[in-house]
Structure 1
Amino acid sequence: MKKIAVLVPCYNEELTIEAVIKDFKNVIPEADIYVYDNNSKDNTAQIAKELGAIVVPEYRQGKGNVVRSMFRDIEADCYIMVDGDDTYPAEDAYRVAQLVLENKADMAIGDRLSSTYFTENKRPFHNTGNKLVRTLINKIFKSEVKDIMTGCRAFNRTFVKSFPVLSKGFEIETEMSIHALDKKFLIREVPIAYRDRPDGSESKLNTFSDGFRVLKTILNLYKDYKPLSFFGLISGILCIIGLAMMIPVLSGYLRTSLVAKFPTLIVAIGLLTSSLVSLACGLILDTVKKHSDQFYEISLNMLEMNKPNGKSECENKI
């Protein structure tokens, strides 16, 4: 039997953590339930302990920090990650995990946006933000992921132990999705139900500040994962502006053999030079990225060889 670990990052979830733990105990009684308490000021940790969950404190604030510790500490064959706010039914989370347990996915995603999210969620700006992030990432990475920022996911051990967590906070879900797309992990999605938080339970997310952090994360990861495209775009914009300024000056010179606008000429030359420098940066960093991907693939092979059960992924599939 494969070992299943349910990962529940928590911060002040005393109103909902009991329901989350009981639901997973009923649906997946063989699973180990880990509640990582992120400096809660209420009775979240105490309630989780009384219900038999494995409670671990994480003193560095932020969901990304919690996920980093979870992925380092816990050994399992399948990891199910859900929020502690009781917005994801355990039955649906287990359906998501089935894809990993059957070796049909490296990361399986619970797709809220194709089901009840837009009717259950009472924060309209969150709905708009989810659509915007989905559109941006699918456009940049040429993918068709339906729910980028869902908090309901399942992973195999290879993904968990090879995922470099860089984000500190809520943007961790976006980072996971982009990493999986870039590294060509097998991603599958399952439509799941979403229910809004119960009365009295408040979201820790700030629509605008967290939204800007997510967009900043997308921009940084776009630069890191697709440097030629990123710097090539900048190079193209600078080149177009530079040429637009250069052409009138050049046209006047050809007619009169005089340069009438020296400041414009200087700025145009500066922009065209910057365009070439940006393109050169993109080419160099693209080469570095390809070498980095090669080393990452080698590290994945070594990770497979050092699995605790001594079996390769191929043997597990057979």
Structure 2
Amino acid sequence: MDKIAILIPCYNEEKTIEKVVADFKKVLPEASIYVYNNNSSDRTVELAERAGAIVRNEYMQGKGNVIRRMFRDIDAECYIMTDGDDTYPAENAKEMADLVLNKNVDMVVGDRLSSTYFSENKRPFHNFGNSLVRKSINFLFHNDIKDIMTGYRAFSYEFIKTFPVLSKGFEIETEMSIHAIDKNMYVENVIIDYRDRPEGSESKLNTYSDGIKVLKTIARLYRTYNPRGFFGSIAALLAVISILFFIPVATEYIKTGLVAKIPTLIMCGFVMIAAIQAFFSGMQLQTGIQKNRQDFEMNLQRVSDEKKGLMK
């Protein structure tokens, strides 16, 4: 079992990977550095090995698939995940590792948005998207994580071995943040100085398609983790629609004693029934969520015992 494992998912990062590995070796010489190659067609593997990293391959394309493989393969007391594009400073890694090892933090978030991100990043829609995702998740899940989509994080063994990786691509960071919030895990933020990619290094993130995937992920996870809120919102919307259409029908009936708009009345009744069904569906699913959280706590205890066994 490693004391500290540095995890670097890579796809065509020959411009920067050698420097990234060297920087982390300098800051944390005791750490094992793993570069997971995701079907690179350039010299990423050769340069990572030359810099002293342990190189492994994941052939299913997508960052989420790479992270799933990393989390399965590696046992460590502390994990530090970073990108191979040299946008995250290695200098913060020691502070992040200390929080996990000495303060029992489950996830440390490398917070770009509180420092240099908006000045360094030259893609305005990325800036807008990061702000939108942060505000959405903190509003929906009642938390205050400073940077939802950062790729620079540190994790405890317990987090890694209880985190179900479902996303295949860049929406994985959003999934991590929501999992930590929902499972009441200890999260800390460390402000980092983000720097834009060096010249010649190209981002693999598509602003629009990946942004839509992230928003879909937020909606899916909100439905999964808070069905009472999700279906309750649908129920409230349907109830309001039903009432708004019913008011003219009721007003006319009071005045004339007649119901001229029978189809509207029938529609209002069906919409209100749908609202009631949505409300009780949310309440029923919320009961299952409570049971899942109880099961998670028992599984967390099992993983903690497993970690103690590996450390002996």
TM-score interval, smaller chain? over 0.9
Give, as a single letter, the amino acid of the residue that structure 1 aligns with 2:213. R
Match of 1:127 in 2: 127
Residue 57 (structure 1) shift: 0.5
Match of 1:168 in 2: 168
Residue 308 (structure 1) shift: 4.9
Asked if 1:141 corresponds to 2:141, the answer is yes
Tell me how far apart the structure 2 counterparts of residues 94 and 150 of structure 1 sit (CA, whole Å): 18
Contact 1:79 1:155 in 2 (8 A): yes
Give, as a single letter, the amino acid of the residue that structure 2 aligns with 1:241. I
Match of 1:207 in 2: 207
Match of 2:110 in 1: 110
1:151-193 deviation per Cα after TM superposition (whole angstroms, max 9, x unaligned):
1000010000000000000000000000000000000001011
Query: Percent sequence identity over matched residues?
Result: 58
> What TM-score, normalized by structure 2, do the two folds share?
0.97
Contact 2:178 2:221 in 1 (8 A): yes
Contact 1:92 1:193 in 2 (8 A): no
1:32-69 deviation per Cα after TM superposition (whole angstroms, max 9, x unaligned):
00000001111101111122211110001100000100
Contact 1:93 1:110 in 2 (8 A): no
Contact 2:104 2:156 in 1 (8 A): no
Residue 144 (structure 1) shift: 1.0
Residue 263 (structure 1) shift: 1.5
Give, as a single letter, the amino acid of the residue that structure 2 aligns with 1:59. Y
Tell me how far apart the structure 2 counterparts of residues 7 and 310 of structure 1 sit (CA, whole Å): 20
Q: How many residues align?
A: 312
Match of 2:101 in 1: 101
The equivalences for 1:16-31 within 5 A come to 16-31=16-31
Match of 1:228 in 2: 228
Match of 2:249 in 1: 249
Residue 104 (structure 1) shift: 4.1
Mark the runs of 5 or more structure 2 residues left unpaired by the alignment.
none
Residue 267 (structure 1) shift: 1.3
Residue 2 (structure 1) shift: 6.9
Match of 2:280 in 1: 280
Secondary structure of 2:55 counterpart? strand
Asked if 1:74 corresponds to 2:59, the answer is no
Give, as a single letter, the amino acid of the residue that structure 1 aligns with 2:116. T
Contact 1:5 1:79 in 2 (8 A): yes
Tell me how far apart the structure 2 counterparts of residues 52 and 190 of structure 1 sit (CA, whole Å): 27
> What TM-score, normalized by structure 1, do the two folds share?
0.95
Residue 256 (structure 1) shift: 2.4
Backbone CA RMSD of aligned residues: 1.4
Distance 1:2 1:101, change over 3 A: farther
Asked if 1:47 corresponds to 2:50, the answer is no
